[in-house]
Amino acid sequence: MRRLPSTLLKLLLGWLPDYGGSIRFDGKDAKDFTPEQLQQQMSYIEQNVFLFNATIRDNITLGETFTDEQMEKALRDSALAGDLAAMPDGLDTIVGEEGGNLSGGQKQRVAIARALIHNRSILLVDEGTSALDQKNADIVEKSVLANPELTLILVSHHLAPERKAQFTQVYDLQPAAPRLQPV
Where are the chain's structural domains?
Answer: 4-182
pLDDT confidence of 84, banded at 50, 70, 90?
very high
What pLDDT does 55 receive?
A: 96
Question: Is residue 173 packed enough to be buried (19+ CB in 10 Å), middle (13-18) or exposed (0-12)?
Answer: middle
Q: Is 15 helix (H, G, I), strand (E, B) or coil?
A: coil
26-35, 95-104, 113-122, 160-169: range with lowest mean pLDDT: 160-169
Tell me the mean pLDDT in the region 171-183: 62
Q: What are phi and psi of 110, to 5 degrees?
A: -65, -45
Tell me which amino acid residue 30 is.
A
Structurally, at CATH architecture level, domain 4-182 sits in 3-Layer(aba) Sandwich (3.40)
Q: What is the mean pLDDT of residues 17-45?
A: 86
In 46-170, the DSSP E strands lie at: 122-126, 151-155
Instruction: Count Cβ atoms below 10 Å from residue 118 Cβ, excluding itself.
Output: 18
pLDDT of residue 98: 86
| Average of per-residue pLDDT across 22-43 | 86
Whole-number pLDDT of residue 152: 84
